[in-house]
């Protein structure tokens, strides 16, 4: 036990996001008899610190509240150097951009032997982030991409070397979603017996929720039994509320905010839609599949590595509202076909996207890198 390599995970925040939940699963899932694991968060303590500590992992939160300002990021970097010198990990694994940037600089200043950075999205919003990844690549031993699409994007747009890119997808807690009980959706104002179209994610332009509401508005006259439920929060919440009120959709479109019982909510709905403009490997598609929901999604990064259009779901091109409208109407109308595709997708996810297989692949990568660093 004394000779276990120290692995330190670093993330920007420990809030209830997909990357944060993935970190918890990987960090707590690595065999404790082989690895000595700890976690650092650049921001204040978030809700996911509790399950990490409950699993016996040390968690340090640096409390930086404005990590996106260059001054705060540099302050966090030098605080991180001091902490890494105390922990003395053999390998640092980062999640999310700001933690990746601060972590790779701090790790080298603290003489951490191996640095692995996670690339979880095809970043289309900020060319600056792509340039920073490229300029600091020399500080990184490997980049773990959550999908082949993210790896291809990173090689093409960030010009990261192919030899440093490793693809390890997200996983899903299949039984948690497959075996969940149904939730009572009346708390969101959805009447008993209604058909429910569900989307889960941050209310952000990346996810295009405003466009989804507009598409749904066009379907309401022909499909009065259907309701749209949006689970999640974010900067577009006020705009969404105004759009819903202006279009007279208050009784048909429901903003649920963040909810802890997403598995139960998914088990109570009839169809899942992802309208994203870009992604990495969307956890919510894996979760919806595990819950047995038919899936309609844009052909954003990582989705095509989960869903085969026409076989296990339906895919439409990004930013094509009429194509999305047609796909939704078809799935809402032909529910037996939708159920057959959902069953196929559920089987694929149960076989190929388990957390056990994901954690095993991280462990193999860590062993190889640590052996090479000696």
| pLDDT 10s digits, 192-251 | 999 999 999 999 999 999 999 999 999 998 999 999 999 999 999 999 999 999 999 999
Residue 1 confidence (pLDDT): 54
User: What's the length of the chain?
Assistant: 374
Strands 6-11 and 314-316: unpaired
Residue 2 confidence (pLDDT): 57
Per-residue pLDDT, averaged over 114-129, amounts to: 85
Report whether pLDDT(276) > 60.
yes
Per-residue pLDDT, averaged over 83-99, amounts to: 95
Share of the chain above pLDDT 70, in %: 99
Per-residue pLDDT, averaged over 106-120, amounts to: 95
Burial 101-138 (b: 16+ CB within 10 A, else e): bbbbbbbbbbebbbbbbbbbbbbeeeeebbebbeeebe
Residue 16 confidence (pLDDT): 81
C-alpha to C-alpha distance for 154 and 210, rounded to whole angstroms: 28
Please give the structure tokens belonging to residue 193. Answer: 């017996």
Give all strands (DSSP E) within the chain, no chain letters: 6-11, 36-41, 59-61, 91-95, 114-119, 142-145, 165-167, 195-200, 226-231, 253-257, 271-274, 295-298, 314-316
| pLDDT 10s digits, 335-346 | 899 999 999 999
Residue 275 confidence (pLDDT): 97
Residue 125 confidence (pLDDT): 72
Per-residue pLDDT, averaged over 121-144, amounts to: 88
Share of the chain above pLDDT 90, in %: 85
All structural domains of the chain: 6-171+354-373 (3.40.50.2000), 174-352 (3.40.50.2000)
Burial 256-281 (b: 16+ CB within 10 A, else e): beebeebbbbbbbbbbbbbbbbbbbb
Per-residue pLDDT, averaged over 270-284, amounts to: 94
Per-residue pLDDT, averaged over 257-286, amounts to: 95
Alpha helices (H) in 96-142, listed in sequence order: 97-109, 127-135
**Whole-number average pLDDT of the chain:** 93
| pLDDT 10s digits, 340-363 | 999 999 999 999 999 999 999 999
Per-residue pLDDT, averaged over 365-371, amounts to: 96
Angle 209-219/321-333 helices, nearest 10 degrees? 50
Residue 64 confidence (pLDDT): 85
Report whether pLDDT(9) > 80.
yes
| pLDDT 10s digits, 252-270 | 999 999 999 999 999 999 9
Report whether pLDDT(120) > 90.
no
Q: Would you call 13 exposed, middle or buried from its count of C-beta atoms within 10 A (0-12, 13-18, 19+)?
A: buried
Which range has the worst mean pLDDT, 50-59, 91-100, 114-123? 114-123
C-alpha to C-alpha distance for 175 and 350, rounded to whole angstroms: 9
Q: 301: Cβ–Cβ under 8 A, 6 or more apart, which residues?
A: 121, 122, 147, 149, 150, 153, 278, 279, 280, 281
The pTM score is 0.85
C-alpha to C-alpha distance for 43 and 338, rounded to whole angstroms: 42
Residue 6 confidence (pLDDT): 96
Residue 129 confidence (pLDDT): 85
Q: What is the CA radius of gyration of the chain?
A: 21
The residue among 171, 40, 136 whose CA lies nearest residue 93 is: 40
Per-residue pLDDT, averaged over 184-195, amounts to: 95
Residue 329 confidence (pLDDT): 95
Residue 86 confidence (pLDDT): 95
Per-residue pLDDT, averaged over 97-117, amounts to: 95
Q: Return phi, psi of residue 8, to 5°.
A: -115, 125
Catalogue the long-range contacts made by 59-68 (C-beta closer than 8 Å, 24 or more residues apart). Answer: 59/14, 61/14, 67/12, 67/42, 67/43, 67/98, 68/98
Q: With contact defined as beta carbons under 8 Å apart, do 286 and 312 qualify?
A: no
- The model's confidence at residue 123, banded by pLDDT at 50, 70 and 90, is confident
| pLDDT 10s digits, 29-88 | 999 999 999 999 999 999 999 999 999 999 999 988 776 677 777 888 888 999 999 999
- The model's confidence at residue 121, banded by pLDDT at 50, 70 and 90, is confident
**Cα pseudo-dihedral 305, 306, 307, 312, rounded to 10:** 140
* CA 341 remoteness from chain centre: 23
């Amino acid at each position: 036990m004394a000779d276990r390599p120290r692995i330190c995970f670093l993330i920007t925040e420990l809030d209830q996001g997909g990357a944060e939940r993935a970190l918890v699963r990987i960090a707590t899932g690595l065999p404790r008899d082989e690895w000595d694991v700890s976690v650092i968060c650049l921001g204040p303590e978030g809700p996911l610190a509790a399950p990490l500590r409950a699993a016996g992992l040390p968690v340090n939160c640096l409390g930086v509240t404005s990590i996106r300002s260059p001054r705060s990021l540099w302050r966090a970097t030098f605080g991180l150097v001091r902490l890494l010198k105390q922990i003395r990990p053999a390998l640092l694994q980062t999640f999310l951009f700001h933690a990746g940037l601060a972590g790779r600089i701090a790790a080298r200043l603290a003489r951490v032997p191996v640095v692995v950075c996670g690339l979880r999205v095809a970043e289309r919003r900020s060319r600056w982030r792509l340039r920073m990844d490229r300029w600091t690549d020399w500080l990184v031993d490997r980049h773990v991409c959550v999908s082949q699409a993210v790896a291809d994007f990173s090689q093409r747009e960030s010009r990261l070397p192919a030899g440093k890119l490793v693809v390890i997808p997200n996983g899903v807690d299949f039984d948690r979603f497959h075996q969940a009980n149904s939730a009572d959706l009346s708390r969101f104002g959805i009447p008993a017996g209604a058909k429910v179209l569900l989307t889960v994610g941050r209310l952000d332009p990346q996810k295009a929720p405003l466009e989804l509401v507009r598409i749904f508005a066009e379907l309401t006259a022909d499909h009065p039994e259907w309701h749209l439920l949006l689970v999640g929060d974010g900067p577009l919440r006020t705009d969404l509320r105004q759009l819903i009120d202006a279009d007279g959709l208050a009784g048909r479109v429901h903003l649920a905010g963040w909810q802890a019982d997403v598995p139960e909510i998914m088990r109570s709905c009839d169809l899942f839609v992802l309208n994203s403009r870009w992604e990495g490997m969307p956890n919510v598609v894996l979760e919806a599949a595990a819950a047995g929901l038919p899936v309609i999604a844009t052909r954003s990064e990582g989705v095509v590595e989960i869903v085969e259009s026409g076989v296990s779901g339906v895919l439409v091109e990004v930013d094509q509202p009429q194509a999305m409208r047609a796909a939704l109407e078809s799935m809402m109308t032909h529910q037996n076909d939708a159920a057959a595709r959902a069953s196929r997708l559920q089987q694929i996810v149960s076989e190929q996207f388990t957390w056990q297989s994901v954690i095993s692949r991280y462990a193999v990568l860590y062993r190889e890198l640590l052996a090479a660093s000696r």
